[in-house]
Structure 1
């Protein structure tokens, strides 16, 4: 699921008349349902959520040093987008207003 599909899913679920709280809750609900269903959710500039299966494995209890088996599990992984990483690390400057996730417009070459 990409950003456009996420927008369409929210619009299909709730229509156009949403309060801000309903809008946020609906977006989060659609995101969680997509990842639980096994879909990769990708929002350009923000990041992607991917479900992943982890196999069973052997581990060591740090308290007792005793070997133990960790059961197989299913987890969600988040990978931040390039713009998000740049803003957090300081490689890009946070804009005073507007959408901080969108890339700055390219300046035309002379």
Structure 2
């Protein structure tokens, strides 16, 4: 599996190319959107991006974990974590892209 990470700079470059803002304005816009998402999560708000997914903050209780190397038990303290649930639109898009990538030559695609 080929793994690629999209950076903030790459997002800003895409906004620059597709929207037509300057590079500086594009970078500021991306920073503002990400900052607003972070601030909303800090305030325990749910962030729902239509056709993309939902970000939420969840409390995890203290529990006993195990060190995979040694097998030794260790306490894992309670913490807050961000969760993401993909929308059905995003899930379908990923499924279609996966089917297209893994399709064998000569094989019929979806809906054919």
TM-score, normalising length: structure 2: 0.62
Give the alignment's Cα RMSD to 1 decimal.
Answer: 1.5
- Structure 2 unpaired stretches of 5+: 1-23, 98-112
2:49 to 43, 53, 57: 43
Question: Which blocks of at least 5 consecutive residues in structure 1 are unaligned?
Answer: 1-17, 92-110
Moved over 2 A (4+): none
Distance 2:82 2:35 in 1: 15
Q: Which of the two has greater helix per residue?
A: 2
Counterpart of 1:64 in structure 2 is 70
The partner residue of 1:88 within 80, 87, 94 is: 94
TM-superposed deviation, 1:65: 1.1
Q: Give the structure-1-normalised TM-score.
A: 0.63
Residues 71-110 of structure 1 mapped to structure 2, 5 A cutoff:
71-90=77-96
Distance in 2 (alpha carbons) for counterparts of 1:89 and 1:60: 34
Which structure has the higher relative contact order (CA within 8 Å, separation 6+)? 1
